[in-house]
Amino acid sequence: DVKVTQSSRYLVKRTGEKVFLECVQDMDHENMFWYRQDPGLGLRLIYFSYDVKMKEKGDIPEGYSVSREKKERFSLILESASTNQTSMYLCASTRGGAASNQPQHFGDGTRLSIL
């Protein structure tokens, strides 16, 4: 079974801090994704990566950056955390190839609170 592991289940940070969220997958998947999930808004794509060092903006990339130095690891970075970035963050991965026919495997999420 594919395992997607997010480094923290809960995280509390302060406004202005630089925040790193880490995600590791163990199935050699090419594609990795970061979403945030807010009540009433569902899952929204922040960034995705289809290969090492490659990244593409999703629907809400503002205030975030990502890093993918190794195939199994995809990091989400909040450059200067703000209270409106308080949310649940979900990482997912898929095999390579045509995106829409690859089921996504999700981690259990990081609930981030910015004070």
Partner 1 sequence: LAKTTQPISMDSYEGQEVNITCSHNNIATNDYITWYQQFPSQGPRFIIQGYKTKVTNEVASLFIPADRKSSTLSLPRVSLSDTAVYYCLVGDNSGTYKYIFGTGTRLKVLA
Give residues in contact with partner 1 (CB under 8 A). 4, 31, 33, 35, 40-45, 48, 50, 56, 58-59, 90, 92, 98-101, 103-109, 111
In whole angstroms, the minimum distance from the beta carbon of 41 to partner 1 comes to 7
In whole angstroms, the minimum distance from the beta carbon of 80 to partner 1 comes to 26
**How many Cβ atoms from other residues are within 10 Å of residue 64's Cβ?**
20
Q: What gap in Å lies between CA 16 and CA 48, rounded to an integer?
A: 24
- Interacting residues of 7 by C-beta distance below 8 A, sequence separation 6+: 21, 22, 23, 24, 110
Residue 37 or 67 having the CB closest to partner 1: 37
In whole angstroms, the minimum distance from the beta carbon of 83 to partner 1 comes to 22
